[in-house]
Amino acid sequence: MTIPYVTGTVSVTAGSAVVSGSGTAWATALIAGGLFGLDSSNGNPVPILSVDSNTQLTLAKPWRGTTAAGQGYWIIRDTAYLQQQTVNAQALSTYIQRLDNASLAALAGLNPGADKLAYFTGAAGAALTDIKAKGRDVLAADSMLSLLAKLGPVNGGNPSPTPSGAGVGLADGDFNTVVVPGAYTIGGQWANGPAGPGAAGHTGMLIVYARFTQVFQELWLATPTSPIRWTRWTSVNSGSWPNQWFKMPGDMVGTVSQSGGVPFGAIMERGSNANGEYVRFADGTQICWGTGTINVSTALNNHFGSTSGASVTGNALISFPAAFSNTNYSVSVFPTFRGFTVLGAYSKNGANAAVRMGVSGSTANDVPYEWSAFGRWF
């Protein structure tokens, strides 16, 4: 008795001769003719006209039952021995012809080995090449971001790895030993940094370049607003660095900044506001200047050798356009009218200074003046 073919499930449509399969392999199983029916009582068995593919066949008559999907079914193969034998022989001939080609023969001539990958060297040639774990890891990437993360670890990934985590034989803690090109995350105590040979705290990014035997390092130290950049190089890739770290200049004119007394940012900053104008330099020097008016109307006794009421004075508060870091700055005031004398600044803080001016005589005047101040912004 012929064993029915029952692999997978089928879907039928009322009035259609086409049967669709799911998980079926009718062509591979060499189904040729036979009788088709459902496990249920839906419809009567119908002879098979043709097998169109592994998942489609055509019945000799349209399906007389109702439309149904995902149904169990059975196929009783054709018992005509010669018909089935012919189908089998034709299928076997087709597969043999597909196998008989130069490409497969070239692959068959290779001797497989661990961590080897076959590739074609021509239309009828093949060879083996090494494919190690890292290569397989790259091949397994399923997106560009995943690929970039695997291409490192030195020049890839987000964030960049520490030297010890890069997988290239480096250790953390000594800038002199990081000679493999790439981008590294730096943190903790490191020796031979910009502060000198001793260990010091560093947090930032280290970029390493190489050209022949020369190795270049660029260190970007993270700060609250902008990184401080240092660079150095060596002509011998042996861990010896005869060149000291050099601080990389920022913009010539822009915003100057500092962190812990170490300047970064621009070399010079210039600005102005309602209080006047100022210039700041990267070394901490600050110069401010502007103009103002003092009302000289308060009687000043026994000044300039005069008798009571024979001289007058006035006070003014100079607010700086940029604050000084301390009171160790100098203020100069220059009246623009002759005959007036500045008695000097009698009160100072980082943001402003109070000055006094006097003149011999009892006439009240609004005296214009120019002022300048020299000190430090850090």
DSSP-derived secondary structure letter, 334: E
Contact 213, 229 (CB under 8 A): no
Same domain, 283 and 361: yes
Provide the pLDDT confidence category of residue 258 given band limits of 50, 70 and 90. Answer: confident
Same domain, 92 and 17: yes
Provide the pLDDT confidence category of residue 153 given band limits of 50, 70 and 90. Answer: low
Whether the pLDDT of residue 142 is over 70: the answer is yes
Q: Is residue 31 part of a domain?
A: yes
pLDDT at 143: 79
Q: CATH code at 310?
A: 2.60.40
Measured CA to CA, the distance from residue 192 to residue 176 in angstroms comes to 6
Higher pLDDT, 255 or 11: 11
Q: Which of 32-36, 104-108, 219-223, 277-281 has the lowest mean pLDDT?
A: 219-223
Q: Which of 252-261, 274-283, 326-335 has the lowest mean pLDDT?
A: 252-261
CB atoms within 10 A of CB 3: 8
Pick from 56, 77, 97: which residue ends a domain? 97
Q: What is the pLDDT of residues 84-122, one digit of tens each?
A: 666 677 777 677 776 778 888 888 888 898 989 899 998
Pick from 81, 97, 113: which residue ends a domain? 97
Higher pLDDT, 278 or 78: 278
Provide the pLDDT confidence category of residue 151 given band limits of 50, 70 and 90. Answer: low
Tokens matching residue 219: 């260190």
Q: Is residue 236 part of a domain?
A: yes
CB atoms within 10 A of CB 371: 21
Q: What is the pLDDT of residues 301-333, one digit of tens each?
A: 655 555 555 567 788 899 999 999 999 999 988
Contact 48, 79 (CB under 8 A): no
Same domain, 211 and 289: no
Closest CA to 26 of 48, 47, 1: 48
pLDDT at 38: 96
Provide the pLDDT confidence category of residue 361 given band limits of 50, 70 and 90. Answer: low
Q: Which of 129-138, 198-207, 354-363 has the lowest mean pLDDT?
A: 354-363
Measured CA to CA, the distance from residue 261 to residue 247 in angstroms comes to 14
Whether the pLDDT of residue 43 is over 70: the answer is yes
Q: Is residue 112 part of a domain?
A: no
CA distances from 336 to 291, 310, 340, 367 (A): 10, 22, 9, 7
Same domain, 288 and 324: yes
Same domain, 48 and 18: yes
Whether the pLDDT of residue 37 is over 80: the answer is yes
Q: How many CA atoms lie within 13 A of 325 on its CB side?
A: 10
Whether the pLDDT of residue 64 is over 50: the answer is yes
Q: Is residue 155 part of a domain?
A: no
Rounded to 5 degrees, φ, ψ at 352 are -160, 170
Higher pLDDT, 343 or 7: 7
Same domain, 236 and 320: no
Higher pLDDT, 316 or 279: 279
Whether the pLDDT of residue 362 is over 80: the answer is no
Whether the pLDDT of residue 340 is over 80: the answer is no
Q: How many domains does the chain have?
A: 3
Pick from 185, 217, 247: which residue ends a domain? 247
Higher pLDDT, 355 or 323: 323
Q: Is residue 92 part of a domain?
A: yes
pLDDT at 224: 45
Question: Can you give the residue range of the structural domain that contains 230?
Answer: 163-247
pLDDT at 322: 96
- The 3-class secondary structure across 89-115, one letter per residue, is HHHHHHHHHHHCCHHHHHHHCCCCCCC
Sign of the alpha-carbon torsion through 163, 164, 170, 176: positive
Q: Is residue 261 part of a domain?
A: no
Higher pLDDT, 1 or 200: 200
What average pLDDT score do residues 3-16 get?
A: 94
Same domain, 232 and 286: no
Provide the pLDDT confidence category of residue 53 given band limits of 50, 70 and 90. Answer: very high
Whether the pLDDT of residue 17 is over 90: the answer is yes
Measured CA to CA, the distance from residue 357 to residue 309 in angstroms comes to 16
Supply the Cα-derived Rg of the chain in whole angstroms.
45
Q: Is residue 14 part of a domain?
A: yes
Q: What is the pLDDT of residues 204-251, one digit of tens each?
A: 889 988 776 788 888 887 654 456 788 998 876 666 787 788 877 667
Q: Is residue 299 part of a domain?
A: yes
